[in-house]
Structure 1
Amino acid sequence: MNVVESMGHERDPRVGKQVIDIASHCQGELTAIVQEKVSGYGDSARYRRLAFIKAPDGIEWSTEPENLELAP
């Protein structure tokens, strides 16, 4: 896992690069990977990782970071 910065954003070398979401077979620019709190408080808090992608036409979506491949 990468270093987590403010607002739960992870530093990832793929941010700003073109990626392919293998789950949807769509391509776009990876804009962020964040850790989103899904339940609990304090030490019992649970988080999930989400990758946010933006296509050239402006459509944005999220997926699991494990679903990403760098575009050729």
Structure 2
Amino acid sequence: MSEHYAYVPHRLLRRRVRDVASGVEGELMAVINENVSDSAIEYWVELAYIRRASGREFTTAASNVEPAG
């Protein structure tokens, strides 16, 4: 099995964004292509890491990220 993650460039990195799934806003810290496989078949997903004003980070699908405001 290859690496478990790879950083992905994103035009909104370090900018204020909104997660369309939850409506929560914060700063986009990273987009990572993560291997979430639990078997011999690899399955990769692009996850966005967003830091809220409280400093806590959460993840969402990268496709759920849009500019805030």
1:27-52 CA distance string (max 9 Å, x none): 0000000011122789x522111000
Q: Which blocks of at least 5 consecutive residues in structure 1 are unaligned?
A: 1-6
Percent of counterpart pairs with the same letter? 31
Q: How does 1:6-25 map to 2 (within 5 A)?
A: 7-25=5-23
RMSD: 1.8
Question: Residue 25 of structure 1 aligns to which amino acid in structure 2?
Answer: G
Could you tell me which residue of structure 2 aligns to residue 37 of structure 1?
Answer: 35
TM-score of the two chains, using structure 2 as the length reference: 0.82
Higher helix share: 1
TM-score of the two chains, using structure 1 as the length reference: 0.79
Q: Which blocks of at least 5 consecutive residues in structure 2 are unaligned?
A: none
The ranges of structure 1 where at least 4 consecutive aligned residues each deviate by more than 4 angstroms after the TM superposition are none
